[in-house]
Amino acid sequence: MAHYAAFIWTARATSRVKFFSWLLVQRRIHTRDVLAKKHIVAEVDAGCPIYSTTLETVDHLIFACPFDACFWQEVGVPTAGAAVDDLTFLASAGAVVGSAAEFVMLCCWQLWKHRNVVVFQGQRLSISRVLGCYREDAVLWRCRLPKNSRSNVDSWLTALSP
């Protein structure tokens, strides 16, 4: 876990996203498999709340869910067979370079937020909505980066333009 500590805690992301990312790599966010272990949901209800076919684990939530696979493809990051253990690799393998830790963490954060909006508010799945929220947050995060790295956000936005 030590290599994740530097990856996460030195990134220029918001504290909320850093903490989420830390829980993510430790597989402690409240996916259905964790809720089943805590006896909050029944084992039979531990499937993906969107596609219902597979147990919702952290890896399913971020990479294996068909919707998320489409998102990563749209962003230009290869994730075939990826797991949260691969976050540092994904940061270096993506099409968008520069401030890669922040880029990957923001992607995971947006996927988590979109999943919650779909599950708890009944909204429809929408790649364009996730990308729109991503673009909004990326603009806000621009000031967190050193001045010489702020152009990285421009490359993120160009890669994710509609």
What pLDDT does 92 receive? 59
- How far is it, in rounded angstroms, from Cα 73 to Cα 83? 15
d(CA 108, CA 19): 12
Please tell me the predicted confidence (pLDDT) of residue 88: 66
**CA of residue 37 relative to chain centroid, distance:** 23
Break the chain into its structural domains and give their ranges: 2-159
Rg value, the chain, Cα = 15
C-beta separation of 130 from 110 below 8 A = yes
Whole-angstrom distance, CA of residue 67 vs CA of residue 74: 11
Which tokens sit at 95? 């099409």
Q: What's phi and psi for 76, nearest 5 deg?
A: 90, 25
This prediction has a pTM of 0.86
Q: What per-residue confidence (pLDDT) applies to 123?
A: 93
Q: What is the pLDDT of residue 95?
A: 47
DSSP string, 44-87: GG-B-TTT-SSB--HHIIIIISHHHHHHHHHHT---TT--GGGH
Run of H or E residues at 134: helix 127-141
Alpha helices in 81-122 (DSSP H): 87-93, 100-121
User: What pLDDT sits at residue 105?
Assistant: 87
Residues 75-126 have pLDDT tens digits of 877 777 777 776 766 665 554 555 677 888 888 999 999 999 998 999 999 9
